[in-house]
Amino acid sequence: MEPRFRSLMLALQPQPQQMPPPPFDKDELQRIFADVIRHHRYQSFGFTPNERGAMFGNDDDDNVELRPALLRIQARMDGADVLTSGAAQEKAQRIMKIAGERLKIENYLQCAVQIVASVDAPEADARTFVGKHLLRDPEQASGLGADFFGGGVRFRRLRPQEGGEDNLSIEPDVNDNALVYVDFQMGRSAVGQPISLEQAMNWVNEAFEFVQVPTMALLSD
C-alpha cells in the first residue's frame, strides 16, 4: 500500500519577547507575502480582524496564518499543483523561514504537525477492510443497529520527555468508501530549551516517514 498525501499542517507558537505579544508590523507582513509569492502562488492577502496579524492563501485547505501567538501553514498536497512529501516540507520550511526572519522570531514554545493521506482500500471497500483488518470483527458494529459500521481506530503514543504525544487515526473515508482515511498528528512542547525551526522540520520529516513506513506496514499486514 502507498499513501496519497492530501495535506501537511505545521503550526508553531513563537516564544514571546514581551507579554502580551505586540501586533506584527503590517509592512513586514506585506513584505512576507511579497517574498512568499515569488516561490508559492497565493491568491489573497488580508489582515486578521484585530489587525494583529495576517492571513493569505488560496482556500480553506491551502493557506498561511501569521499571528503573534501562532504561525500556521496548511499546505494542500493533492490540488492542481500536486506536492510530494519533500516539496511540501520545502514549502513549509521556506515560508516559516521567511516569516521568522521578517518578524524577528528565532525560537518557539510549541509545535504541531498533521499529515492527512488516503490509501486505496482492498476491493474498493474501506468499511469492510477496516472492520476486518483493524477492528477484527466486521459484524460487531451491526449489533448496534442497522447502518452502523466500524468508524476506525485511534492509536496514541505519549512522549513526556519531548513534551507531547503522537496520534494516528485510521478510518473509512465517509465521502469515498474506496479509500481509507489516515490522519497522523504530532504535538511537541519546548522542554529544557526552545524549539528551533530546524527541530520542527525534523519532526515534519519524522511524521511523513511514520505514515509511509509503519502505518503502511500496519495496513498491509
**Those residues with Cβ within 8 angstroms of residue 73's Cβ, 6 or more apart along the chain or in another chain:** 8, 9, 10, 11, 63, 64, 65, 91, 92, 95, 96
Strands 4-14 and 179-189: unpaired
Q: For residue 104, which phi and psi values (nearest 5 degrees)?
A: 60, 45
Condensed to tens digits (0 to 9), the pLDDT of residues 5-46 reads 999 999 999 998 888 888 999 999 999 999 999 999 999 999
Using CA atoms, how far residue 95 sits from 29, 92, 163, 189, in Å, is 12, 5, 25, 21
Domain ranges of the chain: 4-220
Bridge partners for 59 per DSSP: 62
CA separation for the pair 139, 130 (Å, rounded): 12
Q: How confident is the model at residue 191 (pLDDT cuts 50, 70, 90)?
A: confident
Cβ atoms within 10 A of the Cβ of 22, count? 11
Q: Which of 114, 116, 111, 115 is nearest to 200 (CA)?
A: 111
pLDDT(132) > 90: no
Q: What pLDDT does 59 receive?
A: 84
Q: Which of 118, 109, 87, 116 is nearest to 11 (CA)?
A: 109
SS3 of residue 216 by DSSP = helix
Q: What pLDDT does 101 receive?
A: 96
Condensed to tens digits (0 to 9), the pLDDT of residues 78-107 reads 988 889 999 999 999 999 999 999 999 989
CA separation for the pair 109, 193 (Å, rounded): 9
Grid coordinates representing 27 are 509592512
pLDDT(66) > 80: yes
